[in-house]
Amino acid sequence: MSAVEQQLRDLLIAEAGDPPHRVTAEAVRRRAVRRWVAQAGAVGLAVVLAVGLGAAVTAGVLRTGTSPGGSTGQHIGPPRYYVSQTFDSRARKLVMSVRNRASGRVTAVIRAPLPGESCGQGNVGVAAADDQTFFMTCAVTKWGPGKFGPLSTPLSVKTYIYRFQVTSSGLVSGYSLVRGGVLKGMFADNIAATPDGSELAVEVTGKADTIYTNTLPGGILVINTRTGSRALWKAGPNVPGTLQYAGATDLSFTRDGRELVALEARCHRRGHRVYCNGHAEMQVRGYSPADRGGSLEGGRVLLDDSALKPPGTHLSDAFITPDGSAAAAVLLGCPPHGPCTLTVARIPIGTGGGQRVLYQVQSGSRNAGIFFRFFSADPSRRYLILDAGTSNARVNGWIDHGKLVPLSPADGNAPSYEAW
């Protein structure tokens, strides 16, 4: 079974509501698929089918639209370099490198600072701040025998968070451990940084005897990189019969770092597991002050699926703009009849204003579906990277005036995540 077929099988099982599976050491090394598990069933299934069965469906028609609002602000130009994460099939591991935006050339390879570390794992293991500064998560884990196999029980885990800077020539200047960035007994994922790099956020999950695909994260940890102080936004307590925090897809901050914003799935929970079964309620919530900590059952709802038009449109990704006035978001919609649509838009927060379409791709038919791998944004939220397409037309690029300008590798199947 190929890697794509395995991922398709996992996602179809999740959509059908099959009992959750345990997570082993090998499963942790693969890219997380939680975002697909959390998406609404009809949209998620159509997207998944496009990923796994592209060769078996009619090729879609790629359509793009220009932004009716024109420029999003004063452009100083997109970043010169970006971090690209790809899977090395021979070494069977993720490889991170720095690439030149204009030429696509690899200018540096990002290596684990310590022996035995696995870096950049999970949904989002690297995040960018201003001035080509990056933060990444690296974990050292030991797995042992358990009731599900020889490597099914995490014996120990320690996550390290590092800072590195890309120079004007595209080289990595070196790695430095972030103050407060040694997380004992915790897996860390979905890292985000304030534009000035003074605060970080990571979603954390504590070590357990058995970790499942639907294990409830412990919460979101906010770290002050100047002082090393930490504050936890906790996922709890459980309230039976209600929809509660089940996990984050994206984390971001306002420019001053005062508000932490999460695109999160809200589902039913039992104990330390979540049960979305492909029908999560997706919400963008703000938590402030970010460095105070508290409960993820609080916060203020900034945006949710019910506010989107046309009905049946769902949030897939969302990042708050630095001033907190809007969200740069990816929306997915598959009506009962007609093509599926992926839209990247800037959506005002709390003003009642209409969204501004930045980019749009549409499948030729509902059965063709939409291919979508990831979405990321620079610290200003002006320059957006999207890996998406229809059927076999899968493109990795950045959005420029309604068009997707290719990045290297141009094949949308190759990268698993990119940041700049």
Q: Which of 38-42, 57-61, 246-250, 337-341 has the highest mean pLDDT?
A: 246-250
Mean pLDDT of the chain: 81
What is the average per-residue pLDDT within 289-318?
Answer: 92
Q: Do 220 and 288 form a contact (C-beta atoms < 8 A)?
A: no
Contact call for residues 253 and 259 (beta carbons, < 8 A): yes
Position 199 pLDDT exceeds 60: yes
**Residue 305 tokens, joined:** 């699926």
The CATH number of 3-419, from 3.40.50.620, 3.40.718.10, 3.40.1480.10, 2.120.10.30, is 2.120.10.30
Tell me the average pLDDT across 386-404.
Answer: 86
How far apart CA 260 and CA 406 sit, in angstroms, is 31
pLDDT in tens, 343-352: 999 999 987 6
Residues 138-148 have a mean pLDDT of: 82
C-alpha to C-alpha distance for 212 and 220, rounded to whole angstroms: 19
For the segment 216-233, what is each residue's pLDDT rounded down to a tens digit? 999 999 999 999 999 999
Say if CB 189 and CB 164 are below 8 A apart: no
β-bridge mates for residue 327, sequence order = 320, 347
Q: Is residue 283 pLDDT above 90, yes or no?
A: yes
The pair of structure tokens assigned to 276 is 């979305």
* pLDDT at res. 370: 82
User: Is the pLDDT reported for residue 325 higher than 90?
Assistant: yes
> pTM of the prediction?
0.83
Residue-wise pLDDT tens digits, 299-308: 999 999 888 8
Confidence of residue 338 (pLDDT cuts 50, 70, 90): confident
**The pairing of beta strand 294-295 with beta strand 230-234:** parallel
209 confidence band (pLDDT: 50, 70, 90): low
The residue extents of the domains of the chain are 3-419
